[in-house]
């Protein structure tokens, strides 16, 4: 078994990228690679250039993968390859986005081709691809200093080739990779646990919100089979009001302390996150009192990222909402607020809202589509039991996501220490 030891470095030298240990090298990417080259896109009008057997990487393939890229959404043919600037990037190379998601990196575990926005980087020593992955992940925030100042910050192959790499001795590079890979593995395991919990929640929602708990007799309704003891109601029948928010106010109206003015960005994972919330003064809130919401009411995104929804928590005594949100004041004698949240999150009901709103790319949810939406309504006590079960899964998800956030912070801190040499690793 290899024992990893850490020690604090005290002997540094000044370099163009700051202080690094005296025994480390400074080099450019070009000096340690055999090839650094962008790809190209075959003409989309030529059908014979597409749907072949050569994986074709776009920016979204990199951003949707983790460290390793193993699959792409698009494929090109050999004709597409020979009639474009695309080239075959060998497996275990580094892929780097030059614009769009500037500086995003991934290691391709299969031979791929890429579009012109992505550089294929083939290290001279193929073992160094892992170290370069971590180096350029660490370097990502710095790219904006080097990018060409166009409408959208762009890199070029020349800028990347000439970028400086801090290069520890080979054995130390391996040990740095080993340490950071352990954290990546832990993050991967948590991601897998989150995915399992999300699948569990989706299955439970489908079961509990349409079949309930322990029912044996069902009836046909306009929204499908539901338990015999359940009703079908429209959302406005179990709510006191459903209104869109007020016109977005100018930042000049914001105050340091006042009434929370909620926007779509304040909805995170079906909860309200106040970390970036703005506040409005009492006098403005009083003028717009008709859109005031209190604990137990719901907010639903009207435009943008649709179907973002949250219940106002007890910690927010009063709040107001922007025009991009719909405020739903529930009748708490008829429906459990969180039960309604889960219903509106269920695909079959969320899609009904979109269809009734005639949603287009730039469309918005119509109030009538929400008000007239038919939903199942169990007895109040059963609503509470369903919410209790689904909330327990939500709590598991929340804990796992918090664990991932801690691991991501730890990885960032380790990269900062190990890739600058402030903390060294040795065998």
> What's the per-residue H, E or C state across 236-303?
HHHEEEEEECECCCCHHHCECCCEEEECHHHEECCEECHHHCEEECHHHHHHCHHHCECCCCEEEECC
Structure tokens at 382: 């059963």
Q: Are 339 and 298 in contact (CB under 8 A)?
A: no
How many C-beta neighbours within 10 Å does residue 185 have? 11
**Domains annotated on the chain, with CATH:** 25-167 (3.90.220.20), 231-377 (3.90.220.20)
How many C-beta neighbours within 10 Å does residue 412 have? 13
Render pLDDT for 158-215 as a digit per residue (tens, 0 to 9).
999 999 999 999 999 999 999 999 999 999 999 999 999 999 999 999 999 999 999 9
pLDDT value for 413: 97
pLDDT band, residue 266 (cuts 50/70/90): very high
Structure tokens at 96: 């780097």
Q: Quote the mean pLDDT of the chain.
A: 93
Q: What is the mean pLDDT of residues 351-372?
A: 83
Q: Are 154 and 98 in contact (CB under 8 A)?
A: yes
Q: For CA atoms 124, 168, 70, 140, give the dihedral sign.
A: negative
Say if residue 332's pLDDT is above 60: yes
Structure tokens at 267: 């909805």
pLDDT-above-90 percentage for the chain: 83
pLDDT value for 357: 82
Q: Are 147 and 102 in contact (CB under 8 A)?
A: yes
Structure tokens at 377: 């309504």
């Amino acid at each position: 078994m290899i024992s990893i030891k850490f020690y604090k470095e005290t002997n540094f030298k000044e370099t163009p990228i700051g202080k690094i240990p005296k025994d480390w090298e400074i080099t450019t990417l070009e000096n340690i690679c055999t090839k650094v080259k962008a790809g190209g896109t075959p003409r989309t009008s030529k059908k014979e250039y597409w749907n072949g057997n050569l994986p074709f990487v776009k920016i979204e393939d990199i951003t949707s993968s983790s460290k390793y890229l193993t699959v792409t959404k698009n494929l090109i043919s050999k004709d597409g390859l020979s009639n474009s600037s695309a080239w075959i990037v060998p497996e275990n190379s580094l892929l780097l986005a030059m614009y769009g998601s500037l500086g995003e990196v991934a290691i391709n575990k299969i031979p791929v081709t890429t579009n012109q926005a992505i550089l294929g980087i083939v290290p001279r020593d193929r073992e160094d691809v892992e170290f370069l992955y971590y180096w350029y992940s660490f370097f990502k925030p710095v790219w904006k200093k080097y990018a060409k100042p166009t409408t959208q910050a762009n890199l070029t192959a020349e800028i990347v080739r000439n970028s400086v790499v801090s290069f520890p001795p080979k054995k130390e590079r391996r040990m740095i990779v080993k340490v950071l890979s352990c954290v990546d593995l832990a993050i991967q395991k948590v991601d897998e646990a989150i995915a399992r919990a999300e699948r569990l929640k989706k299955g439970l929602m489908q079961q509990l919100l349409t079949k309930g708990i322990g029912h044996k007799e069902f009836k046909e309704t306009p929204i499908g089979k539901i338990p015999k003891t359940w009703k079908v109601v429209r959302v406005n029948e179990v709510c006191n009001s459903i209104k869109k928010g007020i016109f977005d106010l100018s930042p000049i109206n914001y105050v340091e302390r006042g009434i929370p003015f909620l926007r779509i960005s304040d909805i995170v994972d079906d909860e309200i996150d106040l970390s970036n919330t703005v506040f409005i003064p009492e006098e403005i809130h009083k003028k717009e009192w008709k859109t005031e919401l209190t604990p137990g009411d719901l907010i639903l995104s009207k435009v943008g990222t649709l179907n973002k929804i949250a219940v106002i928590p007890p910690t927010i005594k009063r709040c107001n909402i922007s025009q991009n949100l719909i405020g739903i004041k529930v009748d708490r004698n008829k429906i459990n607020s969180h039960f309604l949240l889960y219903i509106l999150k269920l695909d079959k009901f969320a899609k009904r809202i979109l269809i009734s709103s005639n949603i287009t790319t730039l469309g918005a949810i119509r109030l009538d589509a929400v008000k007239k939406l038919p939903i199942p309504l169990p007895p109040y006590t059963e609503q509470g039991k369903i919410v209790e079960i689904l909330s327990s899964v939500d709590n598991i998800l929340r804990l796992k996501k918090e664990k991932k956030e801690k691991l991501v912070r730890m990885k960032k801190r380790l990269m900062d220490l190990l890739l600058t040499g402030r903390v060294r690793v040795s065998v």
